[in-house]
Amino acid sequence: MKDIKKLIEEKHDSVRSLFEKGGKFEKWYPLFEAQDTFALTPPDTTKGMTHVRDAVDLKRVMFTVVVALIPCLLWGMFNAGSMYYQHSGLETNLFATMFRGAWIVMPIVLVSYIAGGIWEVAFAVIRKHEINEGFLVTGLLFPLTLPPTIALWQVAVGISFGVVVGKEVFGGTGFNILNPALTARAYLFFAHAKDMTGEVWAAAKDGATGATPLGLGASFGGEGLNVTDALADRGFTFGSMLWGLEPGSIGETSAIAVLIGAAILIISGVGSWRIMAGGCAGLAAAGVLMNLLPAEVMFEGEMVKATTWTNIPFFYHFVMGSFLFGIVFMATDPVSAAATNTGKWIYGVLIGVVTVLVRVLNPGFPEGVMLAILFMNVMAPMIDYYVVQAHIKNRNANLRKFTYAKG
């Protein structure tokens, strides 16, 4: 190891001057810096009044999120492969399923990383700043929100939109209002709706289509059955949706895989448990509230169904669709979420509530979590504003108490 390190250090130092100010490739310094600090930690020392620093840097933080996404990625591959064989009717085994799944999923991930990476480097070079590690996460999050049937050119267009419009036009990492990965997905969702919505999920094989549980739920007509029975009829029980061997976007089908990721984020302290807990509480509360609504209402003398699935048990909301994936990986993006800790609770709860509102009461979209998070991204600064104002008020009251108490 010592030798490898020495070798890399020497090689890098031998070309460093080419990339530094006045060098031949001065423009490409961000690229060199990214590679250099990827291989070896920087030799920089502290300046200013604080002379020691914590061992953790942003690379480790972002890499932890990538690690937390790996269970979802692996399950996504397995699921895609298993859907392929299920619809093709061919014999398979674990290895073949995994291989087929990887064959379907990896190109999507690679295209996302490459297309997004090009933009990331381009902006770093133009703006002369470091390449931000946040893209390691964005570039993986985005493909996991796509159906495996997505065309590769759509992936490239989507991530380009996400990085450029979702992030760079605001000034780059740290300044964006919306989560870039979710912006990219929203773009595809509206621009290429027929390839994205839950109802027409082709299982990576021409001709075969299968609806996602959410798609089923949304189009459920209520013919004599209640919604859980209708789902069970098509093979979707709570247990099966928990495991997630079903049609859906690559990373979101398995609640178990997402929960493993959530555990990694919470234990390592990288993801905000407040947002996750708030989101789950909001979803459950809104789900219960929906159950209390009457399923049918009197309209012009006739009993009419109010909505299709108000009476689905609230815990079904957790395993159906992308809610868990969204609240664990997307809503916790610290840049676009509320910044104050109180604000994070409010932000999380409202995401849960809005998700249920879109799912149950909105006839247009089967899934609500993406819109809920984007909506709350926009609202986050306002939440923070009110939290700060409340804090200032509280603070001043405390200070005044002090003055009076002393007389």
- Which H helix or E strand runs over 297? strand 296-299
Report, in Å, the least distance between residue 39 CB and other proteins.
Answer: 7
- Interface with other proteins in residues 346-405 (CB under 8 A): 384, 387-388, 391-392, 395, 398-399, 402-403
Stretch that binds other proteins, among 48-56, 102-110, 288-296, 323-331 (CB under 8 A): 48-56
Tokens encoding 113:
């990383």
Contact 244, 257 (CB under 8 A): yes
Stretch that binds other proteins, among 72-80, 130-138, 236-244, 289-297 (CB under 8 A): 130-138
Stretch that binds other proteins, among 84-92, 169-177, 227-235, 316-324 (CB under 8 A): 169-177
- Interface with other proteins in residues 241-270 (CB under 8 A): 267-270
**Using CA atoms, how far apart are residues 213 and 228, in angstroms rounded to an integer?**
10
Contact 71, 325 (CB under 8 A): no
The residues near 149 (Cβ < 8 Å, ≥ 6 apart) are 195, 201, 202, 203, 204
Q: Answer yes or no whether residue 37 interacts with other proteins by CB under 8 A.
A: yes
Binder of other proteins out of 20, 26, 106, 175 (CB under 8 A): 175
Which lies closer to other proteins via its Cβ, residue 39 or residue 169? 39
**Using CA atoms, how far apart are residues 49 and 387, in angstroms rounded to an integer?**
31
**DSSP SS3 for 18:** helix
Rounded to the nearest 10 degrees, what angle do helices 94-127 and 58-88 cross at? 140
The residues near 266 (Cβ < 8 Å, ≥ 6 apart) are 273, 276
Binder of other proteins out of 120, 133, 168, 252 (CB under 8 A): 133
Tokens encoding 223:
């013919």
Binder of other proteins out of 10, 44, 223, 302 (CB under 8 A): 44
**DSSP SS3 for 302:** strand
Q: Answer yes or no whether residue 138 interacts with other proteins by CB under 8 A.
A: no
Q: Answer yes or no whether residue 8 interacts with other proteins by CB under 8 A.
A: yes
Q: Answer yes or no whether residue 174 interacts with other proteins by CB under 8 A.
A: yes
Contact 82, 245 (CB under 8 A): yes
Report, in Å, the least distance between residue 370 CB and other proteins.
Answer: 22
Tokens encoding 353:
């509530």
Which lies closer to other proteins via its Cβ, residue 176 or residue 308? 176
Which lies closer to other proteins via its Cβ, residue 33 or residue 195? 33
* Residue ranges binding other proteins (CB under 8 A): 1, 4-5, 8-9, 33, 37-61, 63-64, 130, 132-134, 172-175, 267-270, 272, 274, 334-335, 337-341, 344, 384, 387-388, 391-392, 395, 398-399, 402-403, 406
